[in-house]
Every structure is written in structure tokens, then in C-alpha cells.
Amino acid sequence: MSGTGSLFSLQGYIRSADVQPDGKIGKLRWLGNVPEATLELSTNSTDKTDSFSGKRLQLGRLDTGTTAALNLTLDYWSSANLALGFQATVADIAAATVTGEVFPTGLVAGDQVRLDHPFASALVLTDSATTPATVPAANYGLVGHSQSVVELKNIGTFQQPFKAAYSYEGVENTVLFSAPGKVQFLQFDGINTETGDAVILELWRARFAPVQSLGLINQEYGNLALSAAILFDSARASDPVLGGFGRLLQKKAA
């Protein structure tokens, strides 16, 4: 790179990692295709003007705070990316079977009932007679994409409430707002496509805000627009090589 610098156009990988309780950086994870990423830096300040010249001239500026944020647009739908956007934890629910799941009463033909578990199969309904009767499979069916909604087609003379028995597949369970305040390390592993030089940005402590808008019905490709506040890391701040917020690394010119 010349002494006057160069033009630049950046692309690269953005990775995240959990920050461990001891402050160390955990396993890195690539966030997938990120068409937009913007680092915003700002310093809040208070100005002081004189009260004697009649011109209110500026005497000083006091910095009152420094903030940093990283705004990202994620193209990839994954449980880990959704966990960032929903401030969520993700845990598996194992496949299993259900017996005797009770439906609401007063159902009529055409009503729909949600099962406690999605991705159901081998569904069998029985009624609540003293000697329970099995409802013919033609009287009901699973509808929709999630295999979690039962539509009653024919109630007949069966005694309600109906009871369901079925199997369901394992799922990834993402619980919204179950991990507020979780701190992440973020790394931009980039390249200046004008020069071919590598550019690395490391941000020690990032806290993601909840996704403000998620399109649930898309006419084109959807995305996740996320914003993370970059927090001050007092442990690294004492090291001039690391700094309190992060650092930018480039190869030194030969």
C-alpha cells in the first residue's frame, strides 16, 4: 500500500463467537452471506461557549461518551442467526410419542385444533365414551405445513372431548427473549477487492438488539436486519495492542 493509501471496496466473512465467563473467545461461527455490514462510531460531547465576548465563541468541547455499533443484514436462515435476532436460546426437543392429548370441547365439523407438538404422524383420535371409540381416519386430517393442525371433517355421534395419540419428530426449539444480554465476539475477515489486501476487524464485546422487523411472508428473498452495540471491554482496555472496543488489523507494507 502506498503512503497515500488506496481506493477500497470491502467484502469478507463475518463471524461470531460466544464470550466465555472468563472473557475468552469461544468457537467461531460464520454468519453466512452478509450483503450489508456497517460500523458506526460516535462520540457524544458538550460544547462550552464564552459569556464575555458578546459573540458566544466556543471555548472548549468535553467528550461525554463514546459509542459503537455494527449493523448487519443476514441472508441465511439458521437457528443460530435467529438466536441472535430473538435474544434466544436454542435447545433440541427429542422425537417422542403422545397419548391421551385432550382436545377442546364443543367442536363441530370444519374446526381446527393445534397439537402440542408439530411434525406429527400416525395420528389417531379416540372419544371420551366409557369404552373409548376410535374415530375413523376419514373424519379428520392434518392440514398446513407444520403437521400440527388437525381439522375435524365429521364429528358424528362421538362423545367429546376427543383425545389424540401420535408420534412427532425432533425439533430445534428457539425460545424468544430467553437470553437477553448475551455477549458475542465479532470478527470481520475481509479483503479490499481493489488491492487484494486483507482487512481484519475484531470487536470484543457485542450485544445484539432484538430484530425490529422480520418478514414472515416474502415475495422475494427475505433477510434478518440486526444491530449490535459494541460494549467497552475493561479487561482488554489496559492492553494498548487490543484496546477497549476492538481493533483493525492489516499487513504492514514491506
- Assign 2 a pLDDT band (cuts: 50, 70, 90): low
> DSSP character for 27?
-
Residue 42 and residue 61 in contact, taking contact as beta carbons nearer than 8 Å = no
Distances (CA, A) of 11 to 34, 125, 133, 204: 9, 55, 64, 21
Residue 99, classed as helix, strand or coil, is: strand
pLDDT at 120: 98
pLDDT at 143: 97
pLDDT tens sequence across 5-22: 889 999 999 999 999 999
Phi/psi region, residue 67 (left: phi>0; alpha: psi -120 to 50; beta: rest), is: beta
- Concatenate the DSSP letters of all residues of 144-159 into one string: SSSS-EEEES--TTPP
Residue range 77-96: mean pLDDT, rounded: 96
Residue 186: which of 206, 216, 170 has the closest Cα? 206
pLDDT tens sequence across 184-212: 999 999 999 999 999 999 999 999 999 99
